[in-house]
Amino acid sequence: MAQSSQFSRKILCIGAGYVGGPTMAAIAAKCPQYKVTVVDINPERIAAWNSDELPIFEPGLLDVVKIARGRNLFFSTEIDTAIEEAEVIFVSVNTPTKTFGAGAGKAADLQYWEKTARNIVRVSTTDKIIVEKSTLPVRTARAMERILNANDKGIHFEVLSNPEFLAEGTAMEDLDHPDRVLIGAPETESGKKAQDVLVEIYANWIPRERILTSNVWSSELSKLTANAFLAQRISSINSISALCEKTEANVNEVARAIGMDGRIGNRFLKASVGFGGSCFKKDILNLVYICEKYGLTEVAQYWENVVAINDYQKQRFVETMLRVMFNTIAGKKIALFGFAFKADTGDTRESPSIDVTRHLLEERAQVVISDPEAIPNAKKDLADCETEVTYMEDPYTAAEGAHAIAVMTEWDLYKNLDYDRIFDKMEKPAFIFDGRNILDHQKLYEIGFNVFPLGTMALKHF
Ligand SMILES: NC(=O)c1ccc[n+]([C@@H]2O[C@H](COP(=O)([O-])OP(=O)(O)OC[C@H]3O[C@@H](n4cnc5c(N)ncnc54)[C@H](O)[C@@H]3O)[C@@H](O)[C@H]2O)c1
């Protein structure tokens, strides 16, 4: 391409998903001197990236895309051409849990990553730096390096690990001001040189002291560990929420008291119906699998329990609903407020709402799903339950004639609804199950609701 000569570097990202799209948009917006191309095998996704209806909902993303798109940010399906011209290739394809064969249900499925690596070898004619952006099992870079460097073209590939720590819902802010950027490289001369190139890219907007360098294995393992620790905090406070409900302790008060301990810290201590998202469960299970492979049974069991508590919390939420609604919810209408796995995203992967809906359907409840961004994804998740579930974006309509509301996502919108109006149109006795502890429980109780928060005593009229 004639115009490409004006750029000082050519960067490519393979995989235009929740990570590849926002990350590359941020790099392109910050660094107009680089040409940044994002490719994907999914043409609809690429078409959406080239429109104003982006394929993912992320606050602030469209503005950043608009700064750079067509200037130095390009979304394309021309994967081979893009590989050939790039010097630095980020690989941000999906790495889901394996569903078949050895390690099914735990190990990471690396087929997309490996296909990408083989494609890179096939097309390349010059040396390249390959950056693992996807979350991968520790020591994957070794396998990738073997595949990449087993070429007879005399081309050298340097494989670096640069895991992404952004959180959906705050991705643009996280990319703007990351707590840290981690770059793992082989401890060789060429490894160090490649690491310097990546450091230089990030140093365009990130203070040097926040750019950490390490060996490749520490970098790969740090990402799995970060997700395991974050999920562990949620499961820890959720396990205590169950005890609070039995003892008249209040989980919010407990969380505040322990969170003020500087050694513990106050973040990620909010009791909820459970964690979701595409990463926590898959990354912990991947860690569990790796520990098992190394014969570290106790370590594997320790981390597996973080996932077990999460399943328990979702189950417990539905069991409470069933118990307090007179042991039957068959035929009762239950409105879910929120389906996304957290606020400010339309992503529903591993959302607790999926399991909760399925448990409710097992009890033959009628489920109405409401969410400002996630309904299209919810419909895909529950495609097999088309006749039993209805969708209403408007929460007021969703709650009409309902016996209960279950708050599943902490969208601000649900904090400020006119609950008097909602109560009037519901079946009585009316119930609210606050799976995110975001509502004013006392006020709801005064309106007439029977209120069931998580980890604090219920407020009920009977
Ligand atoms: N979602 C997050 O919050 C998050 C945060 C940090 C890290 N990660 C990690 O980043 C990786 C990507 O996650 P995501 O949420 O962006 O996934 P995603 O499913 O949204 O996106 C992956 C994209 O890769 C594309 N793809 C797959 N194989 C391809 C190939 N051979 N060539 C070109 N494109 C291909 C898919 O079509 C898809 O669009 C995962 O390893 C994940 O664990 C995710």
Kindly report, residue by residue over 177-203, the tens digit of the pLDDT.
Answer: 999 999 999 999 999 999 999 999 999
Active site residue 279: yes
pLDDT digits (tens, 9 = 90+) for 88-100: 999 999 999 999 9
Using the mean position of ligand 1's atoms as its centre, give its distance from the Cα of residue 165 in Å: 13
Q: How confident is the model at residue 2 (pLDDT cuts 50, 70, 90)?
A: very low
- Give percent of the chain with pLDDT exceeding 70: 99
Q: Where are the alpha helices (DSSP H) in 267-350?
A: 280-293, 297-324
Report the pocket of ligand 1 as residue ranges, CB < 6 Å.
14-20, 39-42, 45, 79, 92-95, 112, 115-116, 134-135, 164, 166, 168, 278-279
Q: For residue 320, with 0-12 CB atoms within 10 Å meaning exposed, 13-18 middle and 19 or more buried, which class applies?
A: middle
Dmax over CA atoms of the chain, in Å, equals: 78
d(CA 63, CA 23): 14
Please give the number of the atom of ligand 1 that sits closest to the Cα of 116. 31
pLDDT digits (tens, 9 = 90+) for 431-440: 999 999 999 9
SS3 content of the chain, % helix, strand, coil (to 5): 45, 15, 40
Using the mean position of ligand 1's atoms as its centre, give its distance from the Cα of residue 208 in Å: 27
How many other C-beta atoms are found inside a 10 Å radius of the C-beta of residue 380? Answer: 8
The answer to whether 195 and 161 are in contact (CB under 8 A) is no
Rounded to the nearest 10 degrees, how much is the dihedral formed by the CA atoms of 128, 134, 140, 141?
20
**H/E element, 391:** strand 389-391
Q: What are the DSSP calls for 139-186, one per residue?
A: THHHHHHHHHH--SS---EEEEE------TTSHHHHHHS-S-EEEEE-
Rounded to the nearest 10 degrees, how much is the dihedral formed by the CA atoms of 91, 94, 99, 100?
-30
Please give the number of the atom of ligand 1 that sits closest to the Cα of 19. 16
Q: Is the pLDDT of residue 135 over 70?
A: yes
Closest CA to 119 of 139, 144, 96: 144
Cα atoms found within 13 Å of the Cα of residue 314, Cβ hemisphere only = 20
Residue 199: both structure tokens together: 């450091």
pTM of the model: 0.96
Using the mean position of ligand 1's atoms as its centre, give its distance from the Cα of residue 89 in Å: 14
Domains plus CATH for the chain?
2-206 (3.40.50.720), 250-462 (3.40.50.720)
**H/E element, 43:** helix 43-49
The answer to whether 111 and 66 are in contact (CB under 8 A) is no
Choice among 13, 279, 291, 385 that is catalytic? 279
pLDDT digits (tens, 9 = 90+) for 286-320: 999 999 999 999 999 999 999 999 999 999 999 99
Q: Is the pLDDT of residue 31 over 60?
A: yes
Residue nearest atom 1 in ligand 1 by C-alpha distance:
18
Using the mean position of ligand 1's atoms as its centre, give its distance from the Cα of residue 358 in Å: 26
**Total residue length of the chain:** 462
Phi, psi of 156 (to 5 degrees): -110, 135
The three-state secondary structure class of 326 is: coil
The three-state secondary structure class of 240 is: helix
